[in-house]
Amino acid sequence: MSVSVVIAAGGTAGHVVPALAVADTLRDRGVHVEFIGGNRAEATLVPEAGYPLHQLDVKGFSRTDPTEAAKAGLKAVGATRKASKLLKELKPDVVLGGGGYVAGVAGIAAVRRKIPLVLTEADSHLGMSNKYLAKYAKKLCLAFELDGIEADNVVVTGRPVPPPATDRAAARARFGVPEGEPLILVFGGSLGAKSINDAAIEGLANRSYHVLHACGTRDYDYLKPLLPKVNYQLEPYIDRFNEALLASDLVVARSGGSVFEIAAHGKPSILVPYPSAAGDHQRGNAMALVERTAAVLIDDFELTPERLRARVESLLASPDRLRSMGEAALAFARPDAAEAIAAEVLAAASAS
């Protein structure tokens, strides 16, 4: 019997990339996969990966502006109706909620149509949609163990990531890193992280190590004139990002879902949690690695060029510590996460 799955995921690459990793695993098993999404990262990433994308007009709820929250609520009502019509047409055996606002409305539509629902949560904080939908889901697949989240339908799978790159010499050659020279990889997400961008481009300028800095599309134009003259490569975005991780010796980053990609490559990291993340989940993500001695944390309000440089150079001066941090990161990684979630999706399909 052929199985059909609809994956609802959207917003940031942090939601879409893990969903695509599960989709690839399902497709390899002969499953037909289509996506429901919005008009953000998924609008490019999903078609590029070879999957049909059905788009909804939906946005997040403002926690500070009642007018904007009301507008988002009206959009959600219309998006839920459209999602219900799409599910009626597509007739999936299972809907997988991969995160983002669109996963909430598609999940509600799936419940109303009595289509089995599987949910994923990529962070150390249960999102608003998942809190509401968890009791209706066949399985809730968590990236982290969460305090107070205990139920028969909860399983900790880790967060799916693309397969790690394996040819380090080729990866370092791609970025022009000389043999024996340490590489610091700096990034803050698809848009970038201004505090990290500012601290890195000043604090890590013209040093003896090489810096590869993915600053995001938003900040690239203002940062480019500040580009250091020596050993510093600034990019708005890096495709085949797993090669950048493999080439690096130390990572400086936010602590969204990308902590699992860092861990999958066994890389030590300096993590700067985004202070306004919902439920402060980026701090929780970071602490999962800090408590395992795989990372060190700098609070965003304490991040300065001088402090970042001192922390980077202190770690580079301790190769044994870097090695042990990398080993701890690799031990934390869950390379089988996509397979585990795919198995839950197929189990839900066979039980329906």
> Residue 61 in 3-state DSSP?
coil
Residues 6+ apart with CB under 8 A from 305: 198, 199, 200, 202, 203, 204
Mean pLDDT of the region 317-339:
96
Mean pLDDT of the region 74-81:
78
Mean pLDDT of the region 156-167:
92
In the prediction, which pLDDT does 78 show?
78
Q: In the predicted model, is pLDDT for residue 196 greater than 60? A: yes
Q: In the predicted model, is pLDDT for residue 311 greater than 90? A: yes
Beta pairing partners, 118: 96, 139
All structural domains of the chain, each given as residue ranges with its CATH number in brackets, are: 4-161+335-351 (3.40.50.2000), 168-332 (3.40.50.2000)
Determine the length of the chain: 352
- Work out the pLDDT band at 189, boundaries 50, 70, 90: confident
- Measured distance CA(88)–CA(68) in Å, rounded: 30
Amino acid sitting at position 298: I
Mean pLDDT of the region 144-163:
84
Output 69 or 268, whichever has higher pLDDT. Answer: 268
The DSSP-derived string for 315-337 is HHT-HHHHHHHHHHHHHH--TTH
Q: In the predicted model, is pLDDT for residue 287 greater than 90? A: yes
Query: What average pLDDT does the structure give for the chain?
Result: 90
Work out whether strand 94-99 and strand 53-55 pair parallel, antiparallel, or are unpaired: unpaired
In the prediction, which pLDDT does 61 show?
53
Mean pLDDT of the region 76-97:
91
| Phi, psi for 324 (deg, rounded to 5) | -70, -35
| pLDDT, tens only, 265-278 | 999 999 999 998 77
The DSSP-derived string for 120-151 is EE-SSS--HHHHHHGGG-SEEEESS--TT---
Percent of the chain's residues with pLDDT above 70: 93
